[in-house]
Structure 1
Amino acid sequence: MDNSTVAATAGTADVCVVIPTRNRPDLVLRAVSSALAQRLSPAEVLVVVDGPDEATETALAGVDDPRLRVLPLPRSGGAAGARNAGVRATGREWIAFLDDDDEWSVDKLERQFRHVRENGVEGPVVYATGVEWRTDDFTFHYPRRSPRPGERVADYLFVRAHPGEGMLAVPTLLLRRELALAHPIPEHLRTHEEYDWFLDLDRNGCSFSVALEPLTTVHAPAVRSSVSTDAGWQSSLAWALARRAELGERAFSSFCLTDVARSARRAGGPRLFAAVLGMAVTARPLPRDVARFLVIWFVPQELRWRLSNRRRRRVA
């Protein structure tokens, strides 16, 4: 990689921050503020309003900064469609994604571009950072490790020895616009479009590089409505079954016993318990994956968080 292409000029990077939003004017202002406040200034912050939303457009009109641009869409197409529209609408060399309910530390872009310069490899690359995941009661830092050389992205994300070991959070991502144009985020899926996108990128020779420092804050309150959280376990399982060959048996079973299980647990019942476990067993999961499934199903989420947080403090 030619490192001169990622060098900042006069404290500004040729990057467009794409923020999709709808009906959350207060939250998106926080996200926009964190993007505009970067020590390494983005050349453009592009808020894509996903469908008619007068309140959000009015709130953003009050931001007096020439770097901010608002792109209202005539109809809602979901977060993936809004992100893709933002990629098409800018001419900047780099794209950085940020969600409207999340925020960056002030040195996120500066440190991430330093990581790009120090870890550049041949071929297309998606760069990510660590995440500070904030719930109502706890704060966690993910992921625990970066992808290993040659590791399939499905194995990095789902074949875990520990919770949160591998993660690629969309509001941390940085990639070249030409890569985002060549491989847009799937817009037809109701859930897991980002996983589908990662599999597509991996299949086409893209690698993933993660700076573990938590430079992005993801807010995850207990009451949180989004497309992904509302889609239901059926959609998660249907996605996994459709992508089983690309996931591989280990990643498929792990996904069923964690991601599908977390969603299915809310519906509950012995039949559903047996169905999820039975589907995963067809891929011969490891005992640790089954044990994690049992914990997810029978131990309340708040207690799991408390135990995990206590264990992290002991390790630290």
Structure 2
Amino acid sequence: MSTKPDVSVVIPAYNRPKRLERAVRSVLDQQGVAFELIVVDDASSEPADALYQELEATGHRVVRKEENTGPGPSRNLGAELARGEWLAFLDSDDHWLSGKLTRHLESLRSSGLRIGQAEEIWYRDGERVNPPKPHRIQGGDLFARSLKAVCVSSSTVMLKRELFEEFGGFDEELFVCEDYALWLNMAASEEFEFCEEPLVVKYGGHDDQLSKALPAMDRYRILAILKSFAGGSFRPREDLALKEVRRKLRILEKGSAKRGRVEAVSLCGRIASSVEGRRWNEGVDLCRSLISLWPTRP
């Protein structure tokens, strides 16, 4: 592919070869926009070799990693190789509907904004469902909503590549919640475009999802918030973030006490003290210790 694409599409892949093929086909079926597809295989034990050979033969890019490091580093690697003005991400267990790239790019360009997302259709355990209200995606100022719950869906996002680079991509320390961290940091200063037409199908409920396989996900969200405080990303919106990190710590401390996790209770209290004292780096280190008490990978 010698012509510079308008959009670079990045799919991080880890096993799930049948779902991956569905995702890939949904990208290849897009028309009306010049795009490149970059699949980053995260050291799969079940690589989709035939599909990869087909992609490479048609000018698309497949990167095979030797070590499994999670979706964040895989997306970052794909973005580093991207040549398009715009970036779009697609998780391997989701897929796009016809016209996703064309309609979403038109909507973004007309909005004048640098990042946006499109409406999605949810399936859980094979049945169509309505997403819980906190997770329903929309546009505008999403900072307050993004603090409490994930309301930016990576498979629907399209953004200027320069914006992704400005924010340094996904935090590679976070094996999970790396998407929460990046979209939250962007929402502190960027308004989101919203394409109301459903253009993405999102699947949930399968056993190999990271969000199901790892306990106490709020540990990672707390770490993400504290790292953003330490980096100054939330000024002048610190009050909202402080309120939310306090709430998450109370919930985590209560749950740890209920399960008899004495060390976790102690660490939650020490993190809370660091937050009140605005000792962000100390809080970050304590949160890392808290995360180490449970497995960080399935």
- Select 1:186's aligned residue among 161, 166, 171: 171
Calculate the TM-score normalised by the size of structure 1: 0.66
Compared CA separation, residues 228 and 244, structure 1 to 2 (3 A)? farther
Q: In the alignment, what sits opposite 1:156?
A: 145
1:55 alignment partner, SS class: coil
Q: Give yes or no for the alignment of 1:31 onto 2:23.
A: yes
Alpha-carbon distance between aligned partners in 2 of 1:189 and 1:175, rounded to the nearest angstrom = 21
Q: In the alignment, what sits opposite 1:9?
A: none
Greater shift, 28-37 or 171-180, is seen at: 171-180
Q: In the alignment, what sits opposite 2:286?
A: none
Alpha-carbon distance between aligned partners in 1 of 2:120 and 2:160, rounded to the nearest angstrom = 21
1:213 alignment partner, SS class: strand
The percent identity for this pair of structures is: 24
Alpha-carbon distance between aligned partners in 2 of 1:134 and 1:255, rounded to the nearest angstrom = 30
What residue ranges of structure 2 are gaps of 5+ in the alignment?
277-298
- What amino acid is aligned across from residue 181 of structure 1 in structure 2? E
Residue by residue over 1:55-94, the C-alpha shift from the partner in whole angstroms, topping out at 9 and shown as x without a partner, is 3233432458625321112322211111111111122222
Residues 230-249 of structure 1 mapped to structure 2, 5 A cutoff: 230=214, 232-233=216-217, 234-240=219-225, 243=228, 246=234, 248-249=238-239
Q: In the alignment, what sits opposite 1:200?
A: 185
Deviation at 1:174?
0.9
Compared CA separation, residues 261 and 254, structure 1 to 2 (3 A)? same
Contact 2:5 2:83 in 1 (8 A): no
Residue by residue over 1:178-208, the C-alpha shift from the partner in whole angstroms, topping out at 9 and shown as x without a partner, is 22233211111133212221243345x4332
- Select 2:120's aligned residue among 131, 136, 143: 131
Compared CA separation, residues 260 and 112, structure 1 to 2 (3 A)? farther
Q: Give yes or no for the alignment of 1:177 onto 2:135.
A: no
Deviation at 1:15?
1.1
Contact 2:6 2:34 in 1 (8 A): yes
Alpha-carbon distance between aligned partners in 2 of 1:43 and 1:157, rounded to the nearest angstrom = 29
Greater shift, 84-93 or 189-198, is seen at: 189-198
- Select 2:76's aligned residue among 77, 81, 84: 84
Contact 2:96 2:201 in 1 (8 A): yes
What residue ranges of structure 1 are gaps of 5+ in the alignment?
1-11, 284-316
Q: In the alignment, what sits opposite 2:130?
A: 140
Contact 1:17 1:42 in 2 (8 A): no
Q: In the alignment, what sits opposite 2:107?
A: 115
Alpha-carbon distance between aligned partners in 1 of 2:80 and 2:178, rounded to the nearest angstrom = 18
Calculate the TM-score normalised by the size of structure 2: 0.70
Alpha-carbon distance between aligned partners in 2 of 1:119 and 1:147, rounded to the nearest angstrom = 11
Compared CA separation, residues 71 and 270, structure 1 to 2 (3 A)? closer
